[in-house]
Every structure is written in structure tokens, then in C-alpha cells.
Chain A
Amino acid sequence: MPLELKCHVGIGPTVRGKALVADDNFSARYDLDRIKGVFSRPQHKLVGQSYRDVILVLNTAKGGVATAWMLHEMAARNIAPKAILFNSANTILAQGAALADMAMCDRFADGDVTQLIETGDDVQVDPAAGIVTVMNKALA
């Protein structure tokens, strides 16, 4: 049975995909090899994993302003997540999502989103309604 999670109204279109989750933070400049489409920062919990076409679920943003352009650049090459969910986004991530037309939501009513969603879950994100639905849980 689908699990519906309420969050703040976000940005971008409704999308559906597989979740990639970590209790870690995010910066496109600090953490990614954007040519290969993988996390490249050795200390990041998702190092080596592809972020292409996934629903990325992380704690919060870190670092600088470059991510605002980088999400747009990544989306233009079709090597980008479908959506990013945070416990708490910062302004840069929201601005980048707006330019890239990428789905982004944060501030979940039921607690820590990195615990509520697991890697591999089939997730639908509806930013306009502020609802994220876990359609199917990942197989154990």
C-alpha cells in the first residue's frame, strides 16, 4: 500500500523513480563527477554511485552557489537526478531546481526523510501538492 509523505510545497514537475538515499549533504560542485554522473567525493556516503534518473534523498545542502547553474547544466545533458528531496533545502538548491525544471521538496512532516525512504523504493514526487508517495518499497 502506498505511503504518503507530506512536505512543504516545492518546485518542478511531478516525477516518479527509484530512490537513492543517504544521511549526507549535497553540493554539485563538491560531491559529483558530473561528466560520469557519479558521486566522486571520497568522503560522501554515495561515492561511486550513479545519480542519473534517480530520486535523490539527502539531508541538506552544503557549500557554494555553483549548484544553481550545475543542476541546469546536468539536466541539459540528461545526466541528472529526476528529483532531489531534502530534510532542509537551501536557497541555492531551490533556485537551481527552478532553472532546471527539476522536482525538489523539503521539510517533511513525518520526520527525517532519509529514514522514511530507502534506497530502491519506487517514489513519486508531486512538488505542487507537497506530497511524496512511496509507491512500492524496495525488495529486501
Chain B
Amino acid sequence: MKLSDKEKAMQAGEFGPACQWAIDHQTQVGRMFDAEDMVEVSQAHMMADPESLGDAGVSFVEGIAQNGAKVAIPMITDPRGVDLTYYDPLGQTEEMANLERRFIAACTSMGIMMTDTCINYQTIMPPVRGDHVAYGDTGVVIYSNSVCGARSNFEGGPSALAAGLTGRTPRYGLHLDEHRRATKRFVVQTQPKDLMDWGVLGATIGRKSGSYWEVPVIEGIEKPPTSDEIKHMGAAMASYGSTPLFHVAGITPECSTLADVKGEGLEPEIVSKEDIADLYRPFGAKGEVVDVVVFAAPQLSLVEMGQVAALCKGRHRSETTDLIVCTPAQVYVDAKRMGFIDAIEGFGGKVLTGTCFYQQYAREIGEANGWKRLLSNSAKIVNILGGYGYQPALASMEDCVASAEKGWIV
């Protein structure tokens, strides 16, 4: 890789051991993906929950932070794994909370802003078209690339941290024009009606795309989705397909026409009703008892909080079914002020702040609370939680709340 004088100085240790580790890590990864040089980035966003980090990861970050290491650019964080105001009732241990505390202390000492959100594009500072960034959380990356027109690869926690320290990232993948062109063309026949439908559509296209290096272009969407709708579509697509970028013809910024993304020569593939039904089928469980209803993945926007609150108002959950809602601190404050939190908690639900359910030691909290059958409107979360011992099911937001009220899936 061709490095600038400043990058060579980082490599030589002139910017300290943290920066030296960071540039070494970046050049290893860059070489694997044939990066020719580095590109400066304006922001970094790090996913790092304590379940993923473990003691080894937290100790590693503490080691990076010692000796006064500081990030070189604005750097923010993905949801935490422990809501430090509510972990014992959830069945999380003091050991888990201590890992979280140690990690937060290390990050704060480096100047990292603990935003703890996977919807920073709705709450903090969305990137703009052409903006090179180093984001973690696949949902953040796919939204930023596709809807904002920014440029980021999936940057796992270590690489996002490296980018924060050096202010750059290897120039490969989605930073390059040639990897942003469409490689698969899908035609949608059925218009999604709600957030769950958008997620299921995204999951279907992600599964058909099947690789990080495929870029789907989608035709047939009749009207622009809302930010929450396209958020669910992107998050599910990234979850099922490891897909970091999609285009929607006539809607997303790099694709006014198919020709803009070199999509006109691609063979169109129909996304049929049967395809959608195939995706949904394993998650249908009408009539079965439900242990926990979860609204998360991605964290809820203020608009979604208002929608859940309106459905909860004047009702109460079944004694045998819990309701968990995850939202970032930025949203929580407004949701509290507007009465949404009170409505959800009046229903018997619990709103967790700055966390996301599947990043919260999902296996351990499931076992501690006896949660097996889980219901959500998030196509992403039901894809993840099978491996954690849950029996996940999908329903609309309305049916999720109604199921929590009845104690079985309506």
C-alpha cells in the first residue's frame, strides 16, 4: 500500500503505540482487499458490546487507551450491552456490568462520545453524499451508503477504533466507485405495508444477494419509503446478506435511473409473493404462547416510540408476557417528555436506554427470564436470535402489542 509521510510516521511509532497498532491493523486488512492507499474519514462509529468483547476485548481497548491515546476525528458508539440503570432485573450479572463500566471508561478517556446508538443517521449527524466514514453496525453502514450516499465498508469494532485513532481507513470496497455499481437487479411486485413488511422485503433481497460484494438495485417501489421503513429494509438486508449497499431506482441518491448504477444490462429477478412468504414462513407462530415481545434492532426512532405508545395506551400486557423496547438516550428524553415512555410502562413494558436486545447477552437474559418464544416486528432480530436459543416469530407492530396483551400470538 502507498502510505503518506504522516501514515509512515504512524507506522514508525511517532504518533504513539496506539496509532502504530491502528495503522498496522489497517494495512493488514487493506492488503487483503488490495487497497492501494488510505482515505481520510470524517467520522467513526464503533460497535463493541461486552458480550462480543469479553474480558480479552475490554483489556485490549484499555491497553490502547493507556498512555493518553486520543481519537483524531469525531467517534461515536453503537448500543451498549448493559443498561447500567437496569441490569439486575434483566438477569445480567455484576461481572457483565463491570466489563461495560471498564469499556466506557477506556472509551471516554480516548475522547470517544458514548452515543450508544445504531440509528445515528436519525439522531446524531447523518453523513452526506460522498462523505467517507468508518462505521460499524451493518444497519448503520447500509443506511449511510444507500440512503445518504456516504461511503463506508462494514468496519468491525477494532477497525472502527483504528480509523478513529488514525483518521483514515484503507481505500477498498465501498470507498471505490467500481464497488458501488449494481451487480443484481430485483423487481418488487408487492408493496410493503408496514415496518415488518419492509424488513421482510429487505431480508428476502439480502438472502438472494448472498454476499458482501453484491450490490442490489431494486425496481418497483411505488413511493418513497419513510426513514423508518427503509431503515428496517436495510437492516434486514444487511443481516441476511451481509449486504452493505443497495440502490432503489428513482429514490436513493446514486440511482436516479438504472443507468446511473450500470443496472440496465442486468437480468431482472422478480421478488414474488412466494419469495416473501418463504422468508416469513419459519417465523409464523400464530396461536402459540409468547414469552417476550421485543421492539429493537434497530433501536426505535421517536416516531416508532410514538406508534408503540399509542398502541399501548389504555391496555396492559399479559402477566406471562414481557415487553422490551430499546431506544437511544437521544430519543428517550423526548419520548419521556411526550408521554410515550409512560404509556409503554403503563402497559407493563420496559424501555431500555442505549442498548439493543440482541447485543445484551441475549442467551443469558433469555435463560434468566425463561424467554423462549420471542415475537418482534424486526426481521433482523428474528434472524439473529435463533442461534441464541430462542424460537423467534414475526408480526406487525400492532399484532406484537396485541399478542403481548393476550399472552399468545394473535
Contact = CB atoms under 8 A, between A and B. Distances in A.
Contact of A94 (B29, B137, B157): B29
B56 A65 contact: no
Nearest to B162: A95
19 contacts: A30-B384, A33-B387, A63-B383, A65-B136, A66-B52, A67-B156, A69-B52, A69-B54, A69-B156, A69-B157, A72-B56, A73-B52, A75-B56, A77-B54, A90-B154, A91-B212, A95-B25, A96-B156, A99-B60
Given A90-B212, A91-B155, A32 B387 contact: yes
A76 B242 CA distance: 26
Contact of B241 (A11, A62, A69, A94): A62
Q: Majority SS of interface residues in chain B?
A: helix
A88 B211 contact: yes
A110 B246 CA distance: 30
A63 B138 CA distance: 8
Given A88-B212, A90-B212, A65 B386 contact: no
Interface centre among A25, A31, A99 (most CB of B within 10 A): A99
The 4 A-B residue pairs whose C-beta atoms are closest, nearest first, are: A68-B156, A76-B56, A73-B54, A90-B212
Contacts of B155: 65, 91, 95
Interface stretch (A14-22, A39-47, A48-56): A39-47
B125 interface: no
A69 B33 contact: no
A2 B343 CA distance: 67
Nearest to B141: A65
B158 A73 contact: no
Given A42-B386, A60-B242, A61-B212, A91 B156 contact: yes
A58 B49 CA distance: 26
Contacts of A30: 383-384, 386-387
Contacts of B383: 30, 63
A94 B31 CA distance: 10
A31 B159 CA distance: 22
A95 B156 contact: yes
Instruction: Give the interface size bracket for A toward B.
Output: 35 or more
A61 B238 CA distance: 11
Contacts of A60: 210-212, 242
Interface residues of B, number: 45
A111 interface: no
B278 to A, nearest CB: 13
B359 to A, nearest CB: 8
A11 B49 contact: no
Interface in A71-127: 72-73, 75-77, 88-92, 94-96, 98-99, 104
B157 A41 contact: no
A66 B49 contact: yes
Contacts of B389: 40
B28 A91 contact: no
